[in-house]
A and B are shown apart, each in its own frame.
Chain A
């Protein structure tokens, strides 16, 4: 049969070799696809697997005072677990939202890897997960917030637009971060039509409930900025004695301009720094800023954090500005917290904290530590970097000025029995021709009588202060909120 010289078995073997070659090609290609080039396919934006896996397990929780303020709900949909919030509007300026449709913001965004379980630190054996392609359960984020202080701030603001930031001066731990009006981030969890509707409504609302006023909005700080001006004057040696009369006229004609600056209180002409601070004399501080000079003013302001990139707490905070290239008249206005000076409420809380902490600023932060789902620590926030904003002696004098302002000046409403409290009110004018309703400000700190260090520094801003345009409105509208927050921390 094969004697004809055309050995069929040989050709069969050749054909078999060809089939083996096809098999080899399939195996090599499968290895390329499943091992070598895996990453490029996994990370292709149109590949929904990462999204499905991300929502395929309950998200880790954000904790305040030991108990979670977030949760997860099994929706049974393709993107399975939806975020829930126990006290949505109260903590919205901290948590942000975690939406299937609109992504994440704030802590939900900054700690997303940990919460969603992709952080390699969550795994005891990181390479093992690469092999099995498994995901760790989401970790938890423990915040520095004080639940009672947060609630006090939120209740204090009530229906009004505004924000509160409170920090622990000696550490930079953020104790309260509130913005009103707020919203319930849970409305954005999921993929259904209601989510899109809520998104449109929240974005279209005139009072912008999703704006985090405590860290993402800057306001003219008004008279609260006088703390910075006083610090600059004391550091630069322009003022040496708190009780020495300063030669500021009333009204004060802005240098190089015909505009005249007046006060809403009496006896500012020739007043001392102590009197001018307690009663918030614009004329005195405008002149002081000019006397200190632009360079020293700007240096002190930047020491407090102005014109520096805002801190990350861990989500970014907007930059507060003092301004550069100012002429003398602009410098005079900037020194009383007007013109281009703008600050976030958190920045103003840091100013109060710097005074309370002997002149140095601790970087503010919201996250105490992160843990695995089982509670094993993943990372802990150590002592944060400290930067000096003013000399310790200056800080001591400013503490005196701020306690005086509370004892007998514009800040009487914040006095807390059994505690040393220092404060400064402010009413910032804004809008074209200063036509807008002024912003009422109050910044303060408090130390329990039996404590070594002040336990809390707070800044409050109320946008629609329903008051006349006097300096007092800062002390009137914002001060009670500051007091409630401080009292909550001290108790």
Chain B
């Protein structure tokens, strides 16, 4: 994996020597901010192109807001770029452009669906949230100078996360799930922010206790069990958070936390036996919840028989409508603005946003989006590999895994690969809390990748490879 890492030709790079010196690395690596800038321009242009394509397809004219939209996205991208250039000059140059492109594309898709629901526009709000997200991104890049500081706040993070997770219980349920709290005109989904906090906690806790987890405790048959006093706190917290989620009927996030926990536990300890136990527990839990909770049971039924409601004469379910939309896209798609994914109805702009991409951009566009996410995750993992401290490694892997798992759970859900559980597609979907959280995740990855490369001392990561 590591030997793919690219060394940039000097003419595209602003030249590492021209900048103020950070803590001097033993080997001076190129900063590659020029690459980032070029890619950002491409990402903004691509988004504006999509915006124009929608207008051309619908009205035959360039949409009047295209320049404003392009300028807005461009300014946001530029501000983020300047922040990175100033405070994280060695950061991975792909992270920010991918985030901008996905966010820009999401705005195009939401705007496109707004045309079908003129009474209920979502794109302007989404733009405000995106601005807020980029603002927080800049704040994180500027304020958080060293990611290791976060390890100190691991327990603060977990307490905050649990409070956030429990908050919606005190607010009325929306569409069968207690996920939102309403403050003024805005609805906030605290569970989104909890993801990052939990990742910080897991990383911090596991980094501190990984050797204890791996080596103490008793051995039963081939399975090395950790000592209860080490594993106790983490299991308790995990059970608590999952319990809260089951109470709130948000299975997607529950699945995400579980996956995150298992991945980080594995990366920290290398104990495959625990993965097996974890999967077994998950299977049992899923089975029990599926039997006991009618809401979940119906999701599984929908997944197994997406057209049951059609055969029963009740019309197509949302999942069926989503599958129709993807199929209607074919290889090349109908073109932006020309599909009928609005037939999905409720949540077409949020959980089912990918169906619009699938229908209007086809398999070609959908694959490109998947690969963008894949690249984002890969860059996160790469930062994890390049870092020296266990906390940083676990945090990078955790944050990247959040994106990977979230994409899989919701994309797999709307394409009928796994039972559908509601979740926003990172950056693409309508949803303020989600877009803000994702910008924070990218900011942390920027910080981590900058740390990894600016402190690079020329030594290989480990016995297995070099950067």
Q: Is the CB of B367 within 8 A of A18?
A: no
A87 within 8 A of B: no
A387 within 8 A of B: no
Contacts A16-B1, A26-B415, A30-B370 known; A6 to B210 CB distance under 8 Å?
yes
B 401-445 contacts with A by CB, 8 A: 401, 404-405, 407-408, 411-412, 415-417
User: What per-residue 1/0 map shows which CB atoms of B269-286 lie under 8 Å from chain A?
Assistant: 110000000000000000
B320 within 8 A of A: yes
Q: Is the CB of B462 within 8 A of A33?
A: no
> What are 30 A-B contacts with C-beta separation under 8 Å?
A1-B389, A1-B390, A2-B462, A6-B270, A8-B267, A9-B385, A9-B462, A12-B381, A12-B385, A15-B266, A15-B397, A15-B401, A19-B374, A23-B370, A30-B367, A31-B363, A33-B326, A33-B416, A34-B329, A34-B358, A35-B331, A38-B327, A42-B324, A49-B324, A49-B328, A49-B343, A131-B331, A132-B332, A133-B330, A133-B332
In angstroms, Cα B397 to Cα A52, docked, is: 46
In angstroms, Cα B262 to Cα A11, docked, is: 12
Contacts A6-B214, A7-B463 known; A12 to B393 CB distance under 8 Å?
yes
Partner of B465, one of A9, A30, A38, A49: A9
Contacts A11-B266, A16-B378 known; A34 to B461 CB distance under 8 Å?
no
A434 within 8 A of B: no
Q: Is the CB of A46 within 8 A of B332?
A: no
Q: Is the CB of B381 within 8 A of A41?
A: no
Partner of A12, one of B327, B331, B384: B384
User: What per-residue 1/0 map shows which CB atoms of A442-454 lie under 8 Å from chain B?
Assistant: 0000000000000
In the complex, besides A2-B463, A23-B404, 18 extra interface pairs with C-beta distance below 8 angstroms are A1-B389, A1-B390, A6-B210, A8-B462, A11-B268, A13-B385, A15-B263, A15-B381, A19-B377, A19-B400, A22-B407, A23-B370, A33-B323, A34-B329, A41-B324, A44-B316, A133-B330, A133-B334
User: What per-residue 1/0 map shows which CB atoms of B389-401 lie under 8 Å from chain A?
Assistant: 1100100010011
Q: Which residue of A lies closest to B404 (CB)?
A: A19
Contacts of A42 in B (CB 8 A): 324, 327-328
| 9 nearest A-B residue pairs (beta carbon) | A41-B327, A46-B316, A46-B310, A34-B363, A19-B404, A22-B408, A47-B324, A29-B417, A11-B267
Contacts A6-B269, A15-B267, A38-B330 known; A29 to B416 CB distance under 8 Å?
yes
A 157-173 contacts with B by CB, 8 A: none
A25 within 8 A of B: yes
With most chain B CB atoms within 10 A of its CB, the pick from A2, A14, A25, A26 is A26
A 212-261 contacts with B by CB, 8 A: none
B307 within 8 A of A: yes
Min distance, Cβ B75 to any Cβ of chain A, angstroms: 32
Min distance, Cβ A4 to any Cβ of chain B, angstroms: 6
Contacts of B411 in A (CB 8 A): 26
Q: Is the CB of A34 within 8 A of B366?
A: yes
In angstroms, Cα B266 to Cα A13, docked, is: 11
Min distance, Cβ B175 to any Cβ of chain A, angstroms: 22
Q: Which residue of A lies closest to B396 (CB)?
A: A12
B340 within 8 A of A: yes
Q: Is the CB of B367 within 8 A of A10?
A: no
In angstroms, Cα B334 to Cα A133, docked, is: 7
A20 within 8 A of B: yes
B 334-390 contacts with A by CB, 8 A: 334, 340, 343, 358, 362-363, 366-367, 370-371, 373-374, 377-378, 381, 384-385, 388-390
Contacts of B358 in A (CB 8 A): 30, 33-34
Contacts of A37 in B (CB 8 A): 327
B216 within 8 A of A: no
A201 within 8 A of B: no
A 35-58 contacts with B by CB, 8 A: 35, 37-38, 41-42, 44-49, 52
Q: Is the CB of B307 within 8 A of A34?
A: no
A326 within 8 A of B: no
Q: Is the CB of B267 within 8 A of A12?
A: yes
Contacts of A52 in B (CB 8 A): 340
Q: Which residue of B lies closest to A19 (CB)?
A: B404
Contacts of A132 in B (CB 8 A): 332
A194 within 8 A of B: no
Min distance, Cβ A38 to any Cβ of chain B, angstroms: 5
B464 within 8 A of A: yes
Interface majority SS (helix, strand, loop, mixed), chain A: helix
In angstroms, Cα B267 to Cα A7, docked, is: 9
B 94-139 contacts with A by CB, 8 A: none
In angstroms, Cα B389 to Cα A6, docked, is: 14
Chain A: interface residue count, which band?
Answer: 35 or more
With most chain B CB atoms within 10 A of its CB, the pick from A13, A34, A38 is A34
Min distance, Cβ B430 to any Cβ of chain A, angstroms: 21
B19 within 8 A of A: no
User: What per-residue 1/0 map shows which CB atoms of B287-312 lie under 8 Å from chain A?
Assistant: 00000000000000000000100100
Min distance, Cβ B462 to any Cβ of chain A, angstroms: 5
Min distance, Cβ B348 to any Cβ of chain A, angstroms: 14
Contacts of B463 in A (CB 8 A): 2, 7
Q: Which residue of B lies closest to A14 (CB)?
A: B266
B 208-246 contacts with A by CB, 8 A: 210-211, 214
Contacts of B400 in A (CB 8 A): 19
Q: Is the CB of B412 within 8 A of A26?
A: yes
A27 within 8 A of B: yes
In angstroms, Cα B237 to Cα A420, docked, is: 104
User: What per-residue 1/0 map shows which CB atoms of A351-383 lie under 8 Å from chain B?
Assistant: 000000000000000000000000000000000
Q: Is the CB of A33 within 8 A of B332?
A: no
With most chain B CB atoms within 10 A of its CB, the pick from A11, A25, A44 is A11
In angstroms, Cα B270 to Cα A8, docked, is: 7
Contacts of B333 in A (CB 8 A): 133
In angstroms, Cα B362 to Cα A19, docked, is: 23
Contacts A2-B463, A18-B263 known; A33 to B327 CB distance under 8 Å?
yes
Q: Is the CB of B310 within 8 A of A30?
A: no
Q: Which residue of B lies closest to A16 (CB)?
A: B381
B22 within 8 A of A: no
Q: Is the CB of B320 within 8 A of A44?
A: yes
B315 within 8 A of A: yes
In angstroms, Cα B332 to Cα A42, docked, is: 16
Contacts of B268 in A (CB 8 A): 8, 11
Contacts of A45 in B (CB 8 A): 310
Contacts A6-B214, A35-B363, A41-B327 known; A12 to B397 CB distance under 8 Å?
yes
Q: Is the CB of B310 within 8 A of A11?
A: no
Contacts of B331 in A (CB 8 A): 34-35, 131
Q: Is the CB of A10 within 8 A of B381?
A: no
Q: Is the CB of B269 within 8 A of A30?
A: no
Q: Is the CB of A10 within 8 A of B370?
A: no
Min distance, Cβ B429 to any Cβ of chain A, angstroms: 16
Min distance, Cβ B191 to any Cβ of chain A, angstroms: 21
Min distance, Cβ A239 to any Cβ of chain B, angstroms: 64
Min distance, Cβ B274 to any Cβ of chain A, angstroms: 12
In angstroms, Cα B328 to Cα A48, docked, is: 11
Contacts of B407 in A (CB 8 A): 22, 26
Q: Is the CB of A13 within 8 A of B1?
A: yes
Min distance, Cβ B119 to any Cβ of chain A, angstroms: 16
In angstroms, Cα B363 to Cα A34, docked, is: 6
In angstroms, Cα B456 to Cα A32, docked, is: 44
Q: Is the CB of B393 within 8 A of A8?
A: yes
In angstroms, Cα B113 to Cα A329, docked, is: 75
Contacts A42-B327, A49-B324 known; A7 to B415 CB distance under 8 Å?
no
Q: Is the CB of B323 within 8 A of A131?
A: no
In angstroms, Cα B320 to Cα A45, docked, is: 11
Q: Which residue of B lies closest to A48 (CB)?
A: B343
Q: Is the CB of A48 within 8 A of B340?
A: yes
In angstroms, Cα B297 to Cα A294, docked, is: 71
Contacts of B378 in A (CB 8 A): 16
Q: Is the CB of A9 within 8 A of B464?
A: yes
Contacts of A34 in B (CB 8 A): 326-327, 329-331, 358, 362-363, 366
Partner of B370, one of A13, A27, A48, A49: A27
Contacts of B270 in A (CB 8 A): 6-8, 10-11
